[in-house]
């Protein structure tokens, strides 16, 4: 059985700013003059988006065998981010499209894993 991939057009895409695990002073960028101060200014002005871990989620909704909607998701994360807002991240980061593609890969891998397990279960129960 050939399984097609779920596409971006079939999914709902969400972007979240999560608390960054590392302080700006621990950033890989902290060696450059003025960078930590710049991050601190972004935090003061834009709150969580000023220094965060960005999470992109793609959610695919389908109808299950009980004729009810079900969802599967794929996720991708990028740490040590500094933006003004979600809109700023989407428009100017240069990472948004790649992260959506990576989250779609995660979703499609999850689907293939579920299908493989279902096939193994079906085989085991039919013996």
Tokens of 89: 């991240």
How many domains, the chain? 1
- Position 125 scores a pLDDT of 80
- Those residues whose C-beta lies under 8 Å from the C-beta of residue 115, and which sit 6 or more positions away, are 3
Note whether residue 30 is domain-resident.
Answer: yes
List the domain range (segments joined by +) for residue 35: 8-126
Note whether residue 21 is domain-resident.
Answer: yes
Rounded average pLDDT over 66-78: 92
Identify the bridge partners of residue 27 per DSSP, sorted by sequence position: none
Note whether residue 105 is domain-resident.
Answer: yes
- Position 1 scores a pLDDT of 59
Average pLDDT, the chain: 91
């Amino acid at each position: 059985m050939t399984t097609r991939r779920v596409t971006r057009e079939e999914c709902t895409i969400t972007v979240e700013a999560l608390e960054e695990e590392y302080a700006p002073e621990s950033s890989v960028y902290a060696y450059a003059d003025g960078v930590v101060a710049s991050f601190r200014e972004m935090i003061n002005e834009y709150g969580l988006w000023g220094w965060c871990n960005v999470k992109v989620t793609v959610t695919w909704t389908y109808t299950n065998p009980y004729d009810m909607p079900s969802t599967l998701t794929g996720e991708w994360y990028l740490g040590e981010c500094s933006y003004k807002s979600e809109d700023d991240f989407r428009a100017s980061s240069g990472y948004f499209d790649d992260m959506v593609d990576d989250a779609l890969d995660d979703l499609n891998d999850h689907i293939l894993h579920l299908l493989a397990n279902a096939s193994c279960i079906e085989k085991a129960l039919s013996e």
